[in-house]
Amino acid sequence: MENIHKNKFNILSSALILVMALFSLACQEDEDVVTGMPSIERVRYTDPATADSAFSRATLGSTLAILGKNLGTTQQVYLNDYPVGVNPAYVTNENVIVTITDSVPTVATNPDVPNMLRLVTKGGETSISFQTLPPAPQISRVANEYVKPGDQLTLFGRYYYFIDTVYFPGEDIFVTDGFSTNSTGSRLTVTVPEGVDFTESNFVTVVTQSGASATNRRTQIYDGNGMVADFDTNGALEWPWNWGWGISGNMIVPSIGGIEGIDGNFGAIDMDLPPQYGWSNDKVMNFANWSGVQIFPTSPMDKYAPGTPAGKFDIRMEIAVNTDVSIEDVELLIWYPDINGNELQTSVPLTDFVATTDGTWYTLSVNISQLTSGNVRLSTYGDFLAGSGDGTKQLRLVVQNTNSSESIPVVMGIDNVRVVRAEE
C-alpha cells in the first residue's frame, strides 16, 4: 500500500514538473517574442483614414502611430535625439502611439538635426529616417507693400522652410518656384506674378509642407486704395508746391543720393539731423489743403465708411534711407490735429521697419488708434475725416533725431503716404 502511494506521488510530481517546464518554456517563448529585436515598418497618423498610409515627415503637435514588430516593451521614442515620452497604455507589440511635442528640435532651431526617429525597447533599438517639420510659416510683415508684377516681394517672419507655394490676390495667382530664403527661415523673397487682382482681397499667403500662414493686416500688399500723397498725382494736394509745408518743392524728386524712386517722384530729405529733436523744416512734410478740401480717402465706401472703428485703419508709407551711420536714434513722428483742438501724435523708431540703410524701400505702418494726446484718441474713421476745428485736414510727418548730442547724416525718401483698411 505504501508503495502505491509513493508511485502516485512520484507520478503527480513528475506531471507537475512537466507542466511547470512547459509553462516556463511557453513564457520564455512569449518573452522572446516581446523582447526580440524591434523593427519599424512604417509611421502613419492615428486618423483611421490614414490606416494604409506611410509618412516620412510630420509637424510639431502631430500624433503618430509607429507600426512594426517586437514593440511591446518600448521604453522611449526619440525624434532628433529628443525623448517624446511613451505612455504604456498606447503600446502593443505591433504599434506605439506618441505625440511630437513642441520641444522636439527642427531645422528651425537646429540646422543640423539628424531627421531620425529612434525607438528603444528591452530587446534593443531601431531607427528610421523621419523629418520633424517646424510650425506653419508666420508672416510678421511685408518689407515693401508697394509692388507690381515682376518686382521682388520680401516677407519677414518665421518658419520659411520647405516652401511649396506663395499665393497672391486673385483667382489662381500663385508662385511655386524661384523662392529665396535665408538660413534662419526669417526672410522669404519671391517675384510678384502677373495677373494680381485685388477684387476680393489684398493678402499674401505662404504655404509650406507644415501648413499655411494666416492672413491679417501684416500680410497685405497695396491694392490701389487710400492714397493721400504720392508726390505725383494732383488732387486735393498739388505737386511740387501746393501741398502744405515743410520740405521745399525742389526736394520732390525721382532720385537723390543713392535712392531711386519706387514709382515716380518722392519727398526727399538730405541733411544732418540735429540732435535732441532739433527742428528744421527740411525734415518735415505737413500735408494740408488750406481750403478744407478732404485729403483723406472716402472711397470705396465699404472700406472707408465713417462709422468704422479707427483701429481698423493704418497710416502707411514707403521709406528709404541711405547712410553709413546707425539710425537707431531716428524716429518718425506722425501728427494729426483733431476737431477738438487736440494734437494727436505717435513716434515710430525707423529701425522697426527699415532693415537696411542702402536706399532700399520699406513699408512703415502705424495704426490710427496709436495717435494720442494724453487719454484722447480717435474713435471712428469719421473722427479722422473731420480734421481740425477750422475744417482743415492735415497730416504731418517729422523725422527726429533723439540722440542727445550727435547729429545724424541721412539721405531719405518718403513716398505713397496712405490710409489703409487693415482688419485682422
Would you call 327 helix, strand, or coil by DSSP? Answer: coil
State which residues of the chain have pLDDT below 50.
Answer: 2-6, 8-9, 11-30, 32-33
Report CA-CA distances (Å) from 145 to 13, 86, 152, 365, 415. Answer: 91, 47, 10, 10, 12
Residues 52 and 145 occupy one common structural domain = no
Please give the helix or strand (H or E) that residue 32 lies within, else none.
helix 2-35
Q: What pLDDT is attached to residue 34?
A: 59
Q: What pLDDT is attached to residue 424?
A: 62
Report CA-CA distances (Å) from 421 to 137, 202, 258, 300, 311. Answer: 24, 10, 32, 10, 9
Quick one: how far is CA 175 from the chain centroid?
Answer: 18
Domain boundary among 116, 133, 150: 133
Is there a domain that residue 28 lies in?
Answer: no
Residues 97 and 156 occupy one common structural domain = no
Cα dihedral 6, 7, 12, 13 sign: positive
Is there a domain that residue 43 lies in?
Answer: yes
Is there a domain that residue 211 lies in?
Answer: yes
Instruction: Specify the number of domains making up the chain.
Output: 3
Residues 304 and 346 occupy one common structural domain = yes
* CA 10/CA 289 separation, integer angstroms: 119
Residues 402 and 269 occupy one common structural domain = yes
DSSP 90: G
Residues 313 and 417 occupy one common structural domain = yes
Residues 122 and 202 occupy one common structural domain = no
Owning domain of residue 391: 227-421
> What would the pLDDT profile of 77-123 be if each residue is shown by its tens digit?
999 999 999 999 999 999 999 999 999 999 999 989 999 999 999 99
* Pair 143, 320: CB distance under 8 Å: no
Domain boundary among 133, 153, 178: 133
Domain boundary among 98, 118, 133: 133
Report CA-CA distances (Å) from 38 to 72, 96, 170, 279. Answer: 9, 12, 52, 76
Give the CATH number of the domain where residue 299 resides. 2.60.120.260
How do strand 393-401 and strand 284-289 relate by DSSP bridges?
antiparallel
Residues 246 and 385 occupy one common structural domain = yes
Residues 168 and 209 occupy one common structural domain = yes
Please give the helix or strand (H or E) that residue 384 lies within, else none.
helix 381-386
> What would the pLDDT profile of 148-173 be if each residue is shown by its tens digit?
999 999 999 999 999 999 999 999 99
Residues 244 and 391 occupy one common structural domain = yes
Q: What pLDDT is attached to residue 10?
A: 52
Residues 321 and 263 occupy one common structural domain = yes
Is there a domain that residue 23 lies in?
Answer: no
Is there a domain that residue 66 lies in?
Answer: yes
Alpha helices in 253-309 (DSSP H): none
CB atoms within 10 A of CB 356: 11
Is there a domain that residue 311 lies in?
Answer: yes
Give the CATH number of the domain where residue 115 resides. 2.60.40.10
Is there a domain that residue 3 lies in?
Answer: no
* Pair 83, 101: CB distance under 8 Å: no
Please give the grid coordinates belonging to residue 89: 497604455
Residues 266 and 397 occupy one common structural domain = yes
Residues 404 and 277 occupy one common structural domain = yes
* Pair 274, 373: CB distance under 8 Å: no
Is there a domain that residue 163 lies in?
Answer: yes
* CA 17/CA 20 separation, integer angstroms: 5
Query: Which residues are paired to 343 by β-bridges?
Result: 337
